[in-house]
């Protein structure tokens, strides 16, 4: 895909591309849902310090029913942003096409914005990658789901003495825990959990995995009684067993290897507050692995509708 395509460098082309994705049947009003629309010619907005004469407002549409005005970014993650729309589209493509992610500093250099702006843009785009609430359970009759956990964080010995953490029940020294479910030849779902106790993992498994599924795990204690809810196969890692027929956790461990490459090579430090968004990013790329970069970018752009993320929410929302 050509990174010099018009939608990555031209505001009008970027707006038309987003309109085609969001409104395949034509513009509809986000206020009342009407398709009766009238495009207005470019107009000047209110005067500001940056634009004393008022910035040109292009792409404004007026609803013929409720008479409200709107544009393609209203009701999306891009609403009320001062960043040009073509930079949003380019940032989405860069984040979708980079296998191990892209740091805020690198994105800032490529877009010509500050690091803080690039960081916030990245988190907004990750919100568009987050799956909807209407997704069904993983697995089903004749299917296999693997479950495992990994720990995100540096070595405790490298921390300053005053910042060293105490070991948490079911967790690791000063590290954050990511629990992932992978359906073989299917999708992955990752969750940031406080610890990997059975009390924490059982509700996730029962809510996200079909009861007819064959569940494969290692021999960790938190999975000991999962046979009560699923057909459960265990591989005994502690005795050197890693594959027994169809029972193994190699698929989920392969996903963890991709996640860890992103941590070690790109993101270095993932804040616990935002770890769930980084998980959504890596889940999205894994789940769209059969799509090309162009198709993956379009899927992310379609996910911007109905979601808002402000600086306050980005700073304060916990995982």
How much of the chain exceeds pLDDT 70, in percent?
87
| 189-214 residue pLDDT tens | 999 999 889 999 999 999 999 999 99
Domain match, 190 and 118 both: no
Least confident of 48-57, 68-77, 184-193, 199-208: 48-57
- The pTM for the full model equals 0.86
Residue 49, in any domain of the structure:
yes
Rounded to 5°, angle at Cα 173 from 172 and 175: 70
In this predicted structure, what is the pLDDT of residue 109? 96
Half-sphere exposure of 283 (CA within 13 A, CB side): 25
Give the Cα separation of 4 and 284 in Å (integer). Answer: 25
- The 10 Å Cβ neighbour count of residue 189 is 22
Domain match, 152 and 128 both: no
Most trustworthy range by pLDDT among 28-42, 161-175, 304-318: 28-42
For the domain that residue 180 is a member of, what is the CATH number? 3.30.420.10
Q: How confident is the model at residue 318 (pLDDT cuts 50, 70, 90)?
A: very low
Domain match, 169 and 224 both: yes
Whether the CB-CB separation of 26 and 35 falls below 8 Å is answered with yes
Give the Cα separation of 258 and 191 in Å (integer). Answer: 16
Domain match, 163 and 229 both: yes
Residue 300, in any domain of the structure:
no
Domain match, 168 and 98 both: no
Residue 179, in any domain of the structure:
yes
Domain match, 268 and 155 both: yes
**Token pair 């702006």: residue:** 117
Q: Give the total number of structural domains in the chain.
A: 2
Domain match, 170 and 207 both: yes
Q: Which domain holds residue 206?
A: 144-284
Q: How confident is the model at residue 317 (pLDDT cuts 50, 70, 90)?
A: very low
Whether the CB-CB separation of 126 and 278 falls below 8 Å is answered with yes
In this predicted structure, what is the pLDDT of residue 46? 67
Give the Cα separation of 262 and 269 in Å (integer). Answer: 10
| 212-243 residue pLDDT tens | 999 999 999 999 889 888 999 999 988 888 99
**Helices 115-129/293-302 angle, 10° precision:** 90
């Amino acid at each position: 895909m050509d990174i010099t395509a018009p939608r990555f460098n031209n505001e009008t082309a970027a707006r038309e591309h987003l309109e085609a994705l969001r409104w395949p049947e034509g513009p509809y009003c986000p206020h009342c849902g009407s398709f009766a629309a009238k495009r207005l010619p470019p107009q000047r907005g209110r005067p500001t310090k940056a634009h004393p004469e008022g910035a040109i407002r292009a792409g404004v549409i007026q609803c013929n029913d409720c008479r409200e005005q709107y544009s393609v970014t209203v009701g999306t993650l891009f609403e009320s942003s001062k960043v040009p729309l073509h930079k949003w589209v380019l940032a989405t493509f860069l984040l979708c096409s980079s296998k191990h992610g892209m740091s805020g500093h690198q994105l800032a250099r490529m877009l010509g914005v500050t690091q803080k702006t690039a960081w916030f843009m990245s988190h907004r785009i990750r919100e568009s990658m987050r799956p909807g609430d209407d997704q069904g359970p993983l697995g089903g009759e004749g299917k296999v789901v693997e479950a495992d956990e990994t720990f995100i964080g540096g070595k405790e010995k490298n921390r300053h003495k005053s910042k060293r953490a105490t070991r948490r029940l079911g967790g690791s020294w000063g590290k954050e825990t990511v629990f992932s479910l992978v359906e073989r030849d299917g999708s992955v779902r990752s969750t940031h959990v406080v610890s990997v106790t059975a009390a924490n993992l059982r509700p996730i498994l029962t809510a996200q995995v079909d009861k007819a599924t064959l569940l494969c795990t290692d021999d960790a204690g938190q999975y000991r009684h999962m046979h009560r809810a699923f057909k459960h196969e265990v591989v005994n890692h502690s005795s050197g067993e890693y594959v027994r027929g169809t029972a193994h956790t190699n698929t989920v461990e392969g996903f963890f290897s991709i996640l860890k490459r992103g941590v070690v090579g790109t993101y270095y430090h993932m804040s616990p507050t935002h770890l769930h968004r980084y998980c959504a990013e890596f889940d999205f790329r894994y789940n769209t692995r059969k799509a090309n970069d162009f198709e993956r970018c379009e899927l992310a752009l379609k996910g911007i509708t109905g979601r808002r993320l402000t600086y306050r929410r980005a700073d304060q929302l916990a995982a």
